[in-house]
Chain A
Amino acid sequence: MYVYLMRRLFTMIASLLAISVLVFVIIQLPPGDFVTAYITELESQGEMVSEEKIAFLRRQYGLDRSPVEQYVDWILGILQGDFGYSFEYNLPVTEVVGDRVLLSIVVNAATILFIYVVSFPLGVYAATHQYTWGDYGLSFLGFLGLATPNFLLALVLLYLANLWFGTSIGGLMDPLYIDQPWSLSKALSVLEHLWVPVLVIGTAGTAGMIRRLRANLLDELNKQYVVTAKAKGMAPRRLLVKYPLRMALNPFIADIGNLLPQVVSGAVIVSAVMSLPTTGPVLLAALQSQDIYLAGSFLLLLAVLTVFGMFVSDLLLAALDPRIRLTSRGRR
C-alpha cells in the first residue's frame, strides 16, 4: 500500500511539472507578449510610445529574458509561495486571486456535492426500475439537462430567483457585502446566491452521472454473483446495497477526477454570464491580455485541482476495491 502511495505521489508531481511546462509554452505561443498587447491598447487610445519606453517595460517585466529563464524564475517563485506579478492589475498574483479562489472552491465543491447527492438516488432508482415510467421520465429529464445550454438556464434561473425571492441579479453575494470583511450575514448572502450557479453548472454533470450510474448498475444486476446472493435468500434491498451497488460505485468514484476539470471549465462561461466573482472570468481576461504569470498560475491551479482529484479518486478506489489494492502490492 505504501509503495502504491509513493508511486502515485511521484507520478502526481511528475505530471504537475509536465503540465506547468505545457502551460507556460502555450501561454507563450501567441505572437507578442503582454507589452505588445499593452502598447497596442495605448496606441489605439492615440498615445505614442517610444522605443525606449517599450524596451524599459520589457526589462521591467523581465520579458527580455529567455523563456527558459522566465519559466525557472516562475516555478522557483511558486515553490516559495510567490506566484509572480500580474501586469494587468499591477498587483501580486496572490492578491488578485485571493478571495476568488476561495469562492471558486466553494462553488465547485457545492456543485460536485449537488451532482452526487442528486444523481446517486435517481441513478439507482432508474436502474432498479428499468423500463418503467419513472425510468423513462428520469431519462427524459436527463437528456433535457444535457441538452440545455448552461447560459440560457442561468439567465432563466436568475430571472426567476429575482422574481420569487428578490435575490439580486448576478454575483455570489449582495452588492452590499462586496469588499467587506467576512461576516455571518455575508456568508448567508453567499448561500442565498449560491444555489443558482450550482444548479446551472451541475445540471449537465448530474444528468450524465445518472445515465452512467444507471448503465453501470444495470450491468452489475445481471452478473452471476447477484444470482448467488439471491440464492442465499437475501432480501432485495439489502442485496442491492451490499453487492451490485458497491460494484457500481467504482466508476462513480473514478469520475471525481474527470468531474473536477469539467466543472471548473464549465464554470468559466457561466461565471462570465452571471458575473460571479470566481476565477473563471479573470482567467479569461488574463489569457486575452497575455498576462503570463496570472494566467499561468490559474492554469496551474486548475491542473493541481484535477491531478489532486484523480489522486483522491484513486485512493478511494484502492480503499474500496481489493483487486486494485492487493494486486498493486505485487502478488506473485
Chain B
Amino acid sequence: MTDLLRVENLGVAFGLHTGETPALRDVSFRVRGGSTMALVGESGSGKSTVARAIMGLLPGNGRIVSGRILLSDTETGFDWAAGDSHLKHLARIHRPGLDGTLDLTTLDPDGPAMRSIRGGHVAMIFQDPMTSLSPLHTVGNQITDVLDLHTDLPRREHRPVISAMLELVGFADPARALDLYPFELSGGMRQRAMIAMSLIAAPGLLIADEPTSALDVTVQAQILKLIRDLQARLGMAVMLITHDLGVVAHMADEVVVLYRGEVMESGPVSDIYRRPGHPYLRALFRALPRLSTDRTARLVPLREVRSQTAHLLADKEPWPAGADDAGPLLRINDIHKTFTAKKGGPFGGPKATKRAVNGVSLEIRRGDSLGLVGESGCGKTTIGKIIMRAITPESGSIRFNDRGRIVEMLSLNAKAMIPYRRRIQYIFQDPSSALDPRMTVFALIAEPLKIHGIGDKAFRIEMVKELMTLVGLDQRFMNRYPHSFSGGQKQRIGIARALALKPDLVMCDEPVSALDVVVQAQVLNLLKDLQHALGLTYLFVSHNMAVVRYMCNRIAVMCMGRVVEEGPTERVFEHPVHPYTRALLAAVPDPDGDGDWLAGGGAAPNGGPSDPEAWPAPYAVDDDGVAWMRDLGGEHRVLVGSDAAFPEIAA
C-alpha cells in the first residue's frame, strides 16, 4: 500500500493576545490508502488541529509555521456488484483526479485548488451531528452541494445517486429521507446523513473527528461498524480522531498518540497496545477502567490526588446501633413520572406525553454505591432529580432512613424538606457550568454552610480549608475564581461543595463524563477514597459501563423509564440476563478485547435493543403493559412482561 497522506514535521501556531502559542510541534505521520489511522490524545492535545490543518480549515488566528502535508492521488474502488440494483447509481459518481502529489501547505486555503481537495479528495465528519448540519436545509439539499462541487453529474441525476448513498448508510426509506430536515432525525441518523454527505464524492480519505462521542454507546457501535463496512466497500482511508482507546483497538490499523501537540508514539495498533513504550501511553492504559480486568484493582492516574481528613469532617455523628434495621438508607418505590409536551392554541392537537419514569423501584443501603446505567433519555437523571425533589412524580414513594427513623420524603413540604437536603447532596456532570464563575472557591464551597446557617466565619474558613485538603486542592487557591482551574480541579471543587454539609447520600450524575481519561481516573479514585473515609453512600448515574463497574457494588440498568435489570455488579456483568443489558455490554469497546467487537449487533438503525416491544419473550413489554421484576436469586432481578420460561441463559 502506498502512502495516501504524509504529514512531515508539521507545526501550527495560534496567535493570541500574548503572542504566538505553538499548538503542534514537529508532527509527522502517514496514512496509507485504504487503511485506518487513529489519532489519539486527550482534549487540548492538538488532535483536531491536525485535522483542521489538513483540511485547510484552521481558524483565523491559526497558521502553519513549518512542515509539509503531502496528499497523493488515490483510486477509490467504487466497484458496484450487479446485485445491488439501487447502489449501481453510485457508479456514476466520477471525480476528477489529482496530478501526482500535492503539498497542501502551499495552497491558498480558500483557493479553488484547495477547495476541490476539501470535500472531494479529503472529506470530514464531526463530533456533534446535532449542530454540524444546517437546520434550514433538507438532507438531500445539503448533499447535493457536494455533487455539484466535486462531480460533473448533472443535477437531474442527483436524486437517485443521493438516495442510493442514503440507502448505503442505513436509511430504511432513502427517497423520503432526502426531503427530511436534520431536526426530524435522531442523533444517530444525523450522523449517518453526515457520513453519506462526506462519502458521496468518493473521497480517498475520510477524517472522522470524534464521530461518536456525542452518541449513545449502542449507537456508537452502529456508526463505527458502518464506517468500517463502508471503508471495506469503498476502499477509502480513514483517519479516526478519538480519545477512546477501546474504539482505537477495534477500528484502527495504525495509531498515533498525540500529547501537548507532539507525537509521543506511533505504529501498528497491536504492537503499541501490547508494549506501550512511552510513559504517557502506559499511564493512559493504567488510568482506564475496563470491563474485563480485576474490578478492585486501583486505577493509576498520571498524578494521584492525596486526600486527607481532619477533625471537622471526621467527627460526624455515628449511626445509632440498630438504625439500619429500620430499612435501607433510601428506598424508592413504584415511581411514575410523565412529561407532557405543551401544545398551545385552541386548535392544538392531542397532548404529547412521554413516560420518563415508569414504575421504578430501587433501594440504596447505607455504605452502598449503586450504579444507575442507561442511555440518554432512559430516565436516569429524572430519577436523580426526583430524589432531590426538583421534580415531583405523579405517584410512588421515597423513604429515607434518618438514623433509624423512616421519613416519607414526598409528603414533606418545602420547609420540612430543608433538614433532609443536608443529608442528600449532588455532584453535577459538567463542572464548568455547575460553578458560578463570579464566586471564589471559598464562596462556592462555603455556600451550603451559609444557606443552612452552620458555624461562624472562622468555622467556615476552617471547614473550607479542610474540604480543599480533602479533595487534594491547595488551600492557597481559596480566593481564586473557577476559570483558573482545569476540568478535573473544577470537579473536585464541586465534590468539596457537595461534602460541606457532611451528607449521608451523594448523588453523582455522570461526574466524569466531561473529563479526560487521566483526570477521570483521578476523580474516580478520589470518590472511592472519600466513600471509605467518610462513610458515604453513592447513587452513581452514568452511561459508561466500565466506570460503573469500577465504582459500584450494585447496579441497576434502566431503559425507557424502567429498571430492566439490577443486582450485584459482578453478577450483572458476568451473567447479564436482559437483552438490553447484553446489548449495552456488547456495545462497549474494550481495549483488551481480542474478538470482533463490531461483528455482532450494530446494523439496526431503528428500534434495536432499546425498543421494549422488540425484546423477545419473556422480556417483551408494551408501553402500557404490565411488567414485574423476577428474582433470579442472589439479589439479581430482571424485568419480565410474561411468565413464559426464560430462554436458556448463557452462563
**Contact flag A10-B346 (CB < 8 Å), given A228-B132, A326-B181:** yes
B46-72 CB contacts (< 8 Å) to partner A: 55, 57
CB-defined contacts of A225 to chain B, threshold 8 Å: 131-135
CB-defined contacts of A229 to chain B, threshold 8 Å: 134, 145
CB-defined contacts of B128 to chain A, threshold 8 Å: 224
Give the docked Cα–Cα distance between A278 and B131 (Å). 49
State which of A7, A233, A235, A326 has its C-beta within 8 Å of the C-beta of B346: A7
Residue-wise interface mask of A (253-274) relative to B, using a CB-CB cutoff of 8 A (1 in contact, 0 not): 0000000000000000000000
Interface pair A233/B343, CB less than 8 Å apart: no
Nearest-Cβ distance from residue B144 to partner chain A, whole angstroms: 10
B337-391 CB contacts (< 8 Å) to partner A: 341, 343, 345-349, 352
A59 interface residue, CB < 8 Å from B? no
Interface pair B184/A326, CB less than 8 Å apart: yes
Nearest-Cβ distance from residue B350 to partner chain A, whole angstroms: 8
Interface pair A236/B131, CB less than 8 Å apart: no
A1-50 CB contacts (< 8 Å) to partner B: 3, 6-7, 10-11
A234 interface residue, CB < 8 Å from B? yes
B120 interface residue, CB < 8 Å from A? yes
Give the docked Cα–Cα distance between A232 and B134 (Å). 13
**Contact flag A330-B349 (CB < 8 Å), given A228-B126, A231-B123:** yes
B297 interface residue, CB < 8 Å from A? no
A222-243 CB contacts (< 8 Å) to partner B: 223-225, 227-236, 242-243
CB-defined contacts of B137 to chain A, threshold 8 Å: 242-243, 246
Interface pair B145/A234, CB less than 8 Å apart: yes
State which of B120, B123, B135 has its C-beta within 8 Å of the C-beta of A323: B135
Interface pair A330/B343, CB less than 8 Å apart: yes
Give the docked Cα–Cα distance between A61 and B642 (Å). 82
B129-153 CB contacts (< 8 Å) to partner A: 131-138, 145-146, 149-150
Give the docked Cα–Cα distance between A229 and B194 (Å). 11
A278-332 CB contacts (< 8 Å) to partner B: 320-323, 326-327, 330-332
Give the docked Cα–Cα distance between A223 and B133 (Å). 10
Select from chain B the residue with minimum beta-carbon distance to A321.
Answer: B136
State which of A228, A233, A247 has its C-beta within 8 Å of the C-beta of B120: A233
CB-defined contacts of A332 to chain B, threshold 8 Å: 341, 352
Give the docked Cα–Cα distance between A246 and B135 (Å). 10
Nearest-Cβ distance from residue B121 to partner chain A, whole angstroms: 9
Nearest-Cβ distance from residue B15 to partner chain A, whole angstroms: 13
Nearest-Cβ distance from residue A210 to partner chain B, whole angstroms: 22
State which of A227, A233, A322 has its C-beta within 8 Å of the C-beta of B150: A233
Interface pair B118/A231, CB less than 8 Å apart: yes
Nearest-Cβ distance from residue A222 to partner chain B, whole angstroms: 9
CB-defined contacts of A236 to chain B, threshold 8 Å: 110
Q: How many residues of A contact B (CB 8 A)?
A: 31
**Contact flag A224-B116 (CB < 8 Å), given A3-B347, A6-B347, A7-B345:** no
Best-surrounded residue of A6, A228, A234, A243 (most CB of chain B within 10 A): A228
Give the docked Cα–Cα distance between A326 and B136 (Å). 11
CB-defined contacts of B138 to chain A, threshold 8 Å: 322
**Contact flag A234-B115 (CB < 8 Å), given A246-B136, A247-B136, A330-B349:** yes
B119 interface residue, CB < 8 Å from A? yes
CB-defined contacts of B485 to chain A, threshold 8 Å: none
CB-defined contacts of A322 to chain B, threshold 8 Å: 135-136, 138, 181, 183
Give the docked Cα–Cα distance between A230 and B115 (Å). 8
Select from chain A the residue with minimum beta-carbon distance to B115.
Answer: A233
Interface pair A231/B55, CB less than 8 Å apart: yes
Select from chain B the residue with minimum beta-carbon distance to A222.
Answer: B59
Give the docked Cα–Cα distance between A3 and B132 (Å). 31
B512 interface residue, CB < 8 Å from A? no
B197 interface residue, CB < 8 Å from A? yes
B256 interface residue, CB < 8 Å from A? no
Select from chain B the residue with minimum beta-carbon distance to A249.
Answer: B136
Give the docked Cα–Cα distance between A331 and B184 (Å). 9
Give the docked Cα–Cα distance between A20 and B204 (Å). 67
CB-defined contacts of A228 to chain B, threshold 8 Å: 126, 132-134, 194
CB-defined contacts of B166 to chain A, threshold 8 Å: none
Interface pair B149/A233, CB less than 8 Å apart: yes
CB-defined contacts of B341 to chain A, threshold 8 Å: 332
B124 interface residue, CB < 8 Å from A? yes
State which of B136, B197, B347 has its C-beta within 8 Å of the C-beta of A7: B347
CB-defined contacts of B587 to chain A, threshold 8 Å: none
B117 interface residue, CB < 8 Å from A? yes
CB-defined contacts of B131 to chain A, threshold 8 Å: 223-225
CB-defined contacts of B345 to chain A, threshold 8 Å: 7, 11
Interface pair A323/B57, CB less than 8 Å apart: no
CB-defined contacts of A11 to chain B, threshold 8 Å: 345
Give the docked Cα–Cα distance between A322 and B183 (Å). 9
**Contact flag A232-B119 (CB < 8 Å), given A224-B126, A227-B57, A227-B126:** yes
CB-defined contacts of B110 to chain A, threshold 8 Å: 235-236
Interface pair A233/B117, CB less than 8 Å apart: yes
Interface pair A231/B119, CB less than 8 Å apart: yes
Select from chain B the residue with minimum beta-carbon distance to A322.
Answer: B181
Best-surrounded residue of A6, A227, A331 (most CB of chain B within 10 A): A227
Give the docked Cα–Cα distance between A11 and B352 (Å). 23
Give the docked Cα–Cα distance between A233 and B145 (Å). 9
State which of B112, B146, B183, B343 has its C-beta within 8 Å of the C-beta of A232: B146
CB-defined contacts of A224 to chain B, threshold 8 Å: 126, 128, 131-132
**Contact flag A230-B118 (CB < 8 Å), given A247-B134, A247-B136:** yes
CB-defined contacts of B352 to chain A, threshold 8 Å: 332
State which of A232, A247, A323 has its C-beta within 8 Å of the C-beta of B118: A232
Nearest-Cβ distance from residue A226 to partner chain B, whole angstroms: 9
Nearest-Cβ distance from residue A17 to partner chain B, whole angstroms: 15
Give the docked Cα–Cα distance between A187 and B117 (Å). 57
Best-surrounded residue of B118, B120, B132, B349 (most CB of chain A within 10 A): B132
Interface pair B115/A235, CB less than 8 Å apart: yes
Nearest-Cβ distance from residue B108 to partner chain A, whole angstroms: 11
B80-134 CB contacts (< 8 Å) to partner A: 110, 112, 115-120, 123-124, 126, 128, 131-134
Give the docked Cα–Cα distance between A11 and B133 (Å). 34
Give the docked Cα–Cα distance between A298 and B612 (Å). 62
Nearest-Cβ distance from residue B95 to partner chain A, whole angstroms: 11
Can you list 21 A-B contacts with CB-CB less than 8 angstroms, sorted by A residue number? A10-B347, A11-B345, A227-B126, A228-B134, A231-B124, A232-B123, A232-B145, A233-B119, A233-B150, A234-B149, A235-B112, A236-B110, A242-B137, A242-B145, A320-B136, A322-B138, A322-B181, A322-B183, A323-B135, A323-B183, A332-B341
Known: A232-B145, A233-B120, A247-B135. 7 other contacts (CB 8 A): A10-B346, A228-B134, A233-B119, A323-B181, A323-B183, A326-B184, A332-B341
Which 6 residue pairs spanning A and B have beta carbons closest together?
A233-B119, A232-B119, A330-B349, A224-B131, A233-B118, A233-B115
Residues of B that sit less than 8 Å from A by CB:
55, 57, 110, 112, 115-120, 123-124, 126, 128, 131-138, 145-146, 149-150, 181, 183-184, 194, 197-198, 341, 343, 345-349, 352
